Amino acid sequence: MDPTITFRSLAKMIDHSLLHPTLTDQAVASGCELARRYGVATACVKPCSVGLAKGILAGSGVGVGTVIGFPHGSQTSAVKLHEAERGLADGAAEFDMVVNIGKALGGGWDYVESEIRAVNAAVGAGGTLLKVIFETDYLEDAAIIKLCEICAAAGVAFVKTSTGFGFVRQANGMYAYRGATDHHLTLMRANCPETVRIKAAGGLRTLDDLLRVRALGVARIGATATDAILEEARRRGYC
């Protein structure tokens, strides 16, 4: 066991995700209490839940995160800016924004870059930070590299693989997604400067998943299985 990896350092790698559309206020509150109990980095909640989360997490050292353009990234830039401004007013400390995936797939890079820069400037002016979600399941490597370059030039805090809701239609008509793959994480780390951190999301449900992506250079993960991950860390003797 690496002695530099502690229970606290593992907990602070986790954004506890509370983004499913069916979550009630009671479920969000329960999830925020869990986030507070474990001392994770943030509880990432739906925009309508920022105020609720802020009240529960006050004084805990756990931040409130929320999303912009979630989950498909297709809102206009003006709407995304409004979401950022509303989140700031409600007390969010971190924002996860989905890129306009269709624009990226169509090579509309000027639009994509302008939007990222505008939202990053808005959240930065509010003293908070931006994570840009690529939705890597939809993208070829060349587009992922281009997005890394745009995000690095814009000075965003994090690039992130997935929303957890980016389902791709399969040949049999069913939908599935891979989420955070080792290939995409390695590609993103190789094409971002150290000033841009990597967030992995989608399919990370165990302590071994967390330790594996940490070794690839990931600084943060999004997870719903936070309690299972951290209880396993306790069982293995991380303290």
Retrieve residue 102's tokens. Answer: 């269709």
Instruction: Please determine, for residue 166, whether its predicted confidence score (pLDDT) is greater than 90.
Output: no
What digits encode the pLDDT tens for the residues 195-227?
999 999 999 999 999 999 999 999 999 999 999
Confidence tier at 175 by pLDDT (50, 70, 90): low
Instruction: Taking each helix axis as running N to C, give the angle between helix 207-215 and helix 182-190, from 0 to 180 degrees, rounded to the nearest 10.
Output: 30
pLDDT band at residue 168 under the 50/70/90 scheme: low
Classified as helix, coil or strand, 113 is helix
Catalytic-residue membership of 54:
no
- pLDDT above 90 covers a percentage of the chain that reads 91
Question: Is 199 in the active site?
Answer: yes
Residue 165's pLDDT is 82
Q: What is the dihedral of CA 181, 131, 105, 169, to 10 degrees?
A: 50
Active site residue 160: yes
pLDDT level of residue 174 (50, 70, 90 thresholds):
low
Collect all residues with Cβ–Cβ distance below 8 Å to 122 and sequence separation of at least 6.
81, 84, 85, 88
> Distance between CA atoms of 202 and 166, rounded to whole angstroms?
9
Check pLDDT > 90 for residue 34.
yes
Whether the predicted pLDDT of 20 surpasses 80: yes
Q: What is the pLDDT of residues 102-136, one digit of tens each?
A: 999 999 999 999 999 999 999 999 999 999 999 99
CB atoms within 10 A of CB 45: 29
Q: What is the pLDDT of residue 161?
A: 97
Distance separating alpha carbons of residues 117 and 132, to the nearest angstrom: 11
- pLDDT recorded at residue 237: 94
Q: What is the pLDDT of residue 58?
A: 97
DSSP line for 134-188:
--GGG--HHHHHHHHHHHHHHT-SEEE---S---EE-TTS-EE---S-HHHHHHH
Whether residue 98 contacts residue 70, with contact meaning beta carbons closer than 8 Å, is answered with yes
Which of 54, 80, 146, 160 is catalytic? The answer is 160
Please tell me the pTM assigned to this model: 0.95
With a pLDDT cut of 70, the percent of the chain lying above it is 96
Tokens of residue 175, six digits: 């939908």
- Give residue 176's pLDDT: 61
Note the pLDDT tens digit of each residue in 47-66: 999 999 999 999 999 999 99
Residue 172 — pLDDT band, cuts 50, 70, 90? confident
Q: Which position among 96, 131, 137, 146 bears the catalytic label?
A: 96
180 or 173: which leads in pLDDT? 180
Structural domains for the chain: 7-235 (3.20.20.70)
Choice among 54, 80, 146, 199 that is catalytic? 199
Average pLDDT of span 72-83: 97
